[in-house]
């Protein structure tokens, strides 16, 4: 892509090494704007970085996001070193801003940060096989384990009430009340779908409130494309997208990964006959995740992991629907009813999960037995 003077000034603000060669936009991800930068080095090798504009609608306090990222990456680096592992290319490394700090403000008040590029790796939007998805499950399980001794109180809440289902429902109702009438009419069936499940889907927040589920340091956005996989070996190298690492339930991390990665279709599939739960992918992810966490999570957490999948699918579907009713202000969209298409797809998937809950529970029970 051609590099304008504004972009050039932003790039010059970071301590990148070498001579800028190219900038390419990475379009995966619904929130931030991400660019892959390549720099020629004096020895004629090429070094790459990721430059990101932090979405100011989603993240009101980017400096707090970066404080969290700094703390969490330092902790992960140390945890790996203690286990005798090399953290190079396995933990995000923040590139400093020239003159100090790790957050750069542009002329319009926008916030930018940069990371070393995770090399020889790819992020995928769909799993190729249950084994590959299992590798992603292990990555999120290990992530959970390495942060088990992180002091939760030091983390900022980067998006308040991010997975508070009840507050999400209240926001949804407020959006229904002030929605454009044509959009509300178009989404009538989906609005009813949400309303029919309101109480049942608050089960996780209720259990947290009752002290039945503990709060842990969780990733909270565990899509398969937030794990970088080694291009040659398929090994999970690095968990990325740490902007929502906050206090949460392990059920959220398990559930959101299943929602996105164990679907037979992409997140915005229009042909709903293609959308279902892929039970083999579910088992693959569950096996990786439970193998890592069986001894760290409580029995109640483990037994309720499938509930996490249902609740996260409901919640994200409701958030897409809310954004559709709001006029598409939050998630990046490619066409006018994109958020409605995404919501319908989530609700089809949720219906299938409801039908197959027994199978999910049985698999999880079997894996708990195997790994505890």
Residues lying near ligand ADP in the complex (CB under 6 A) are found at: 26, 28-32, 34, 50, 92, 115, 117-118, 123, 225-226, 228, 240-241
Taking residues 180 to 219 in sequence order and writing x for each that binds Mg ion by CB under 5 A, - otherwise, the string is ----------------------------------------
Q: Does 226 bind Mg ion (CB under 5 A)?
A: yes
- To ligand GN1, the closest distance from the beta carbon of 163 in angstroms equals 9
Considering the complex, state which of residue 112 and residue 193 has its C-beta at the smaller distance from ligand ADP. Answer: 112
Number of residues that bind Mg ion (CB under 5 A): 3
Query: x-or-dash pattern for Mg ion, window 23-62, by CB under 5 A?
Result: ------x---------------------------------
Q: Which stretch binds ligand GN1 (CB under 6 A): 33-41, 176-184, 241-249, 356-364?
A: 241-249
- Give the bridge partners for 324, in sequence order: none
326 binds, among ligand ADP, ligand GN1, Mg ion, none (CB under 5 to 8 A by kind): none
- Which of ligand GN1, ligand ADP, Mg ion, none binds 244 (CB below 5-8 Å, type-dependent)? ligand GN1
Q: If contact means CB under 5 to 8 A according to the sort of partner, which of ligand ADP, Mg ion, ligand GN1, none does residue 278 touch?
A: none
- Pick from 10, 13, 16, 30 the residue near ligand GN1 by CB under 6 A: 30
| Comparison of 79 and 268: residue with beta carbon closer to ligand GN1 | 268
Shortest Å, Cβ 26 to ligand ADP: 4
Interface with Mg ion includes 243 (CB under 5 A)? no
Residues that bind ligand GN1 (CB under 6 A): 29-31, 58, 221, 223, 226, 241, 243-244, 256, 267, 316
């Amino acid at each position: 892509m051609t590099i304008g003077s504004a972009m050039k000034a932003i790039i010059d603000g970071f301590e990148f090494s070498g001579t800028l060669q190219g900038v390419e936009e990475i379009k995966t991800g619904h929130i931030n704007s991400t660019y892959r930068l390549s720099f020629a080095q004096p020895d004629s090798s090429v070094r790459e970085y990721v430059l990101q504009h932090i979405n100011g609608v989603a993240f009101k306090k980017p400096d707090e996001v970066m404080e969290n990222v700094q703390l969490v990456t330092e902790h992960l680096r140390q945890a790996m070193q203690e286990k005798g592992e090399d953290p190079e290319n396995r933990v995000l490394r923040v590139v400093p801003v020239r003159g100090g700090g790790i957050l750069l403000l542009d002329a319009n008040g926008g916030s930018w940060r940069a990371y070393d590029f995770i090399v020889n790796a790819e992020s995928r939007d769909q799993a190729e096989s249950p084994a590959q998805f299992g590798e992603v499950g292990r990555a999120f399980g290990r992530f959970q384990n390495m942060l088990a001794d992180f002091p939760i109180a030091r983390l900022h809440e980067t998006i308040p009430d991010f997975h508070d289902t009840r507050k999400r429902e209240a926001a949804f109702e407020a959006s229904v009340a002030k929605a454009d009438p044509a959009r509300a009419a178009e989404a009538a069936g989906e609005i009813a779908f949400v309303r029919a499940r309101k109480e049942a889907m608050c089960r996780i927040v209720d259990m947290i409130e009752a002290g039945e589920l503990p709060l842990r340091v969780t990733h909270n956005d565990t899509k398969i494309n937030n794990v970088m996989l080694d291009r040659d070996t398929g090994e999970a190298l690095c968990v990325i997208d740490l902007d929502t690492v906050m206090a949460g339930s392990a059920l959220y991390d398990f559930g959101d990964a299943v929602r996105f990665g164990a679907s037979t279709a992409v997140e915005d599939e229009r042909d709903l006959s293609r959308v279902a739960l892929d039970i083999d992918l579910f088992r693959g992810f569950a096996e990786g995740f439970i193998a890592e966490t069986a001894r760290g999570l409580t029995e109640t957490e483990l037994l309720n992991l499938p509930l996490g999948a249902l609740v996260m699918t409901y919640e994200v579907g409701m958030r897409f629907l809310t954004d559709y009713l709001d006029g598409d202000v939050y998630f990046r969209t490619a066409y006018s009813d994109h958020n409605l298409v995404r919501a319908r797809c989530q609700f089809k998937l949720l219906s299938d999960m409801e039908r197959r809950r027994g199978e999910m529970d049985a698999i999880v029970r079997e894996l708990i037995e195997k790994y505890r």
